[in-house]
Structure 1
């Protein structure tokens, strides 16, 4: 059992991700019935967690990027405040420290707002789980960290969503991930050449369209369509799954034009899974993008706002970024990262 008396400063970070294809097929009950498939890549934006020892008996949660802090005195119940911090702390303490509290400050930041569509909330949970794993010496591998993060976020807290974000954040890199019945997940890292990786990275522009306030409602509508066996929703999900497989094949040979065709088809299928996936703002940005060199685009995540990303030939990337920014977006290049969640100690 850990008491916290000899804990050093612990840092953890987990990367955010772009869902290239298959997003939505990791939702229940689709993945249990048909098997889901997703192609994603982690990018150089992170959820950070610092876990610092305390000597006053308090447990303190701080989210610096949103300006929130919760302070719990020794012996007082931890039952309010920052729900993700609280849920991870309580779950890990109960499961791996016999429920004995450790006085800590857990301070976090995320390089994208909630509802960004980059899996920021799930990356935060992964970073928190991995950091607390280090504090407690819990015997958790990458699959364990990802599954526990999913269970905390989706079951303990009850937030709507799929499974890809936690596994992308835990493993990192370019992955083709299969989601099967009985919570079985297979992460297949793709070995692509450095030239293909650099060309793909240089062919993507991301653009923030505004914070999504609809993603949970969209996911709930998608899930409802799946549970009622809506033909439109099921057909769209089957198309998204097929697109993930086709996108993987195009990526392995570096055919960006084919990837763009698949992305455009997937965007249409994604919009058919539920209402509200696109918005007037997103539609305007897409019109601007297509008029300035974009081959295709898609909203990352559930939709309703957040980040969109576009494929573009690298020689036209600067023009596309300038046009999107002039149209009110927040556009930029993207950098891939091969690493998943990382933890280190520091005195």
Structure 2
């Protein structure tokens, strides 16, 4: 039996420039942080005592005799891509809900691929793991997804990730003497609004040709934020203000990124002392992040008491195997 553990992520800057439709003709760049909330995949070869060959449990339960019968598109594509010939039993657990802006879909893909690699005794290189996840999601199942979530899930940590047509992606870790200088200012809330990231992303991708100036502005903000993080003393108020500007630009990329409910939540956070914030992921719902001085946290949490506040910290490991007992290959 194999158990893989893979972190979700918070994207601070540059989301939207990691779509191939953009970075295959222009440079893309994001700043993201893997967090200590996880997707878990349990995987083993299925003993031959059942009247089915594949058993997959997520929010549905599937039992099939062929890969082509499997409804879950990532599971179906990953089994074929990894050439898993024997029957398997797959169980998914997660700390946070899907479709919530924390890269859950790509985290699932990375975690599943990592589990399959361990099942087949293949060493997992983080670059290959991220690259394979991107290929499966963008080329095999044709999802409207960017490329940052797979990288963040595979690598972990706090990173600037650059994208280009020639190099694919390059991970540049952001090293801080004390990461709590950033994490102590973070407040994460679940809005309770569920949405399909692919639907929201489809509109953003469609608008890329007319949003070139906005996307270039977002990359400039990534570079400015990187300089702030690399300075001797990090001005978190300025960092938060820059995040506020990033949110202003992001909202302009597509009509469905924000709505009245999100705008109200955001305004309350800002009125209670937040330096800045943004909806995470493609937009339209899910989780919202604020940056605020720690002394303002209680006020913001009280004002948004109808929302679930989720304490988070950084994850430094990325996707890894936490249990391997060796599987009997029937």
TM-score normalised according to structure 1 size: 0.88
Q: CA deviation at 1:332?
A: 3.0
Q: CA deviation at 1:214?
A: 4.8
What is the distance in 1 between the residues matched to 2:186 and 2:322? 31
Q: 1:31 aligns to what?
A: 23
Q: 2:191 aligns to what?
A: 209
What is the distance in 2 between the residues matched to 1:41 and 1:190? 10
Q: 1:3 aligns to what?
A: none
2:56 is the counterpart of 1:61: yes
Q: 1:168 aligns to what?
A: 152
Q: 1:83 aligns to what?
A: 73
For the aligned residue pairs, the C-alpha RMSD in angstroms reads 1.6
Q: Secondary structure at the match of 1:128?
A: helix
Task: Map residues 251-330 of structure 1 onto 2, 5 A cutoff.
Answer: 251-253=229-231, 254-325=234-305, 328-330=306-308
Q: Secondary structure at the match of 2:68?
A: coil
Q: Deviations over 1:161-185 (max 9, x none)?
A: 1000000000000000000014621
Q: Secondary structure at the match of 2:138?
A: helix
Aligned pair partner of 1:107 in 91, 98, 105 = 91
Q: 2:100 aligns to what?
A: 116
What is the distance in 2 between the residues matched to 1:162 and 1:77? 26
Q: CA deviation at 1:250?
A: 1.1
2:2 is the counterpart of 1:18: no
Q: CA deviation at 1:139?
A: 4.9
Q: CA deviation at 1:255?
A: 1.7
What is the distance in 2 between the residues matched to 1:312 and 1:345? 38
What is the distance in 1 between the residues matched to 2:163 and 2:139? 17
2:33 is the counterpart of 1:41: yes
Does structure 2 conserve the Cα–Cα contact (< 8 Å) formed by 1:296 and 1:312?
yes
What is the distance in 2 between the residues matched to 1:103 and 1:278? 43
Does structure 2 conserve the Cα–Cα contact (< 8 Å) formed by 1:45 and 1:111?
yes
Alpha-carbon spacing, 1:105–1:291, altered in 2? closer, same or farther (3 Å)? same
Does structure 2 conserve the Cα–Cα contact (< 8 Å) formed by 1:271 and 1:278?
yes
What is the distance in 1 between the residues matched to 2:324 and 2:186? 35
Does structure 2 conserve the Cα–Cα contact (< 8 Å) formed by 1:285 and 1:329?
no
Q: CA deviation at 1:193?
A: 0.8
Q: Secondary structure at the match of 1:162?
A: coil
Q: Secondary structure at the match of 1:238?
A: helix
What is the distance in 1 between the residues matched to 2:219 and 2:307? 29
Q: CA deviation at 1:236?
A: 1.2
Unaligned runs of 5+ in 1: 1-8
Q: CA deviation at 1:252?
A: 2.2
2:165 is the counterpart of 1:181: yes
Aligned pair partner of 2:116 in 119, 129, 132 = 132
Unaligned runs of 5+ in 2: 326-330
Q: Give the aligned length.
A: 320
2:42 is the counterpart of 1:50: yes
Q: CA deviation at 1:258?
A: 1.4
Q: CA deviation at 1:260?
A: 0.8
Q: 2:206 aligns to what?
A: 224
Q: CA deviation at 1:215?
A: 2.8
